[in-house]
A and B are shown apart, each in its own frame.
Chain A
């Protein structure tokens, strides 16, 4: 079973919730797998302290044009949805930074003038973390714009035993990397705060989960701040609120020192175990 932790709004506590949920599920003998899917700015390692033992580079295939075979017919430019290859006069130009590596140009070239060369865009890392959690993360190289291939590879690279729970910490927002993190999940746990900003982005995140036909539940972090509108929204939309974490200085101080919620307040282990049971009990 895979649970993706997402939020919409940034800084609502995705990693706080995801890491504590993982630590709370380590008593069953069947240790959880943790994936940090925020490949542009991963930070779950600060809390789960993995020792990375394995690495794998991630590359995408970029077209290379053999000018001696190219007739400048423009079919490659026509098919490219990302305008990463253009034909102007007697020149065919490739823009690797725009390329998604889909391979359409290579397939469509009548002269077989295009072949593909791998371009490294990032790396995957994995190893054991606190309490035996199997920790994996992706890391997008600085300056590279495309996170999705890293996340896609990360999901394939991990080794999951039957019955093992996967917890995937998604990046903020609702764009392609978040969609990729949610795709294939059995449940989406949306961490929000009860503010107008939290609600605005929660609405969007709920829409993404629904579009993907994945059931969702909400964790309200910094409960007691803001107003009632997140509660009202969840009630109207029939989205269960699975946990509330109060706005508390001790939590903020602890997290700032690299502690997880269950380190700061061990009684939360039970709350997270109940949350997990509620998720598994949902239809």
Chain B
């Protein structure tokens, strides 16, 4: 299972970026092999619509699970449409810890947007 985690630096031991749409990087990890790759978020500095752009980007990375600290309403709708399950990072500090917590079933699934959304129009 490949999962994507929002991260501050492009590596497995990065601190998690608590923002989804404006995360600096997305680290994709295979939960079975711990193989990973990182992708700079094209929406990190978007003037608006970062959530929808980031969601569309991750939908192309072929993952079914996203872990972050906050999913705004637009990102939530777009990820939902892409059938990507969302989880909150909980106590996880690093990407590696988030993967371990996910495998242990300790992350909280997100069933509704977790924030108000930040920048519109």
Contact = CB atoms under 8 A, between A and B. Distances in A.
Contacts, number: 56
B43 interface: yes
Contact of B74 (A87, A88, A89, A95): A95
B52 A86 contact: yes
B81 A83 contact: no
Contacts of B55: 86, 88
A104 interface: no
A79 interface: no
A86 B121 contact: no
A84 interface: yes
Nearest to A89: B82
Most buried by A among B49, B55, B59, B77: B49
Most buried by B among A77, A91, A99: A91
Interface in A41-74: none
Interface in B63-99: 74, 77-78, 81-83
Interface in A77-102: 77, 80, 82-84, 86-89, 91, 93, 95, 97-100
A132 to B, nearest CB: 37
Nearest to B53: A83
Interface residues of A, number: 18
A145 B78 contact: no
Given A84-B52, A86-B56, A98 B120 contact: yes
B121 A83 contact: no
Most buried by B among A86, A87, A146: A86
B121 A97 contact: yes
B49 A88 contact: no
Contacts of A99: 121
A98 B59 contact: no
B74 A82 contact: no
A33 B56 CA distance: 47
A226 B108 CA distance: 53
A84 B77 CA distance: 12
Contact of A91 (B46, B81, B121): B81
A84 B49 contact: yes
Contacts of B83: 89
Contacts of A93: 52, 77-78, 81
B81 A82 contact: no
A87 B43 CA distance: 15
A93 B83 CA distance: 13
Given A93-B77, A93-B81, A98-B74, A86 B53 contact: yes
Contacts of A146: 120-121
A88 B59 contact: yes
A83 B50 contact: yes
A100 B121 CA distance: 7
Given A91-B81, A98-B120, A100-B121, 17 more contacts: A82-B49, A83-B43, A83-B46, A83-B53, A86-B55, A87-B56, A89-B59, A89-B81, A93-B52, A93-B78, A93-B81, A95-B74, A95-B77, A97-B121, A98-B52, A145-B121, A146-B120
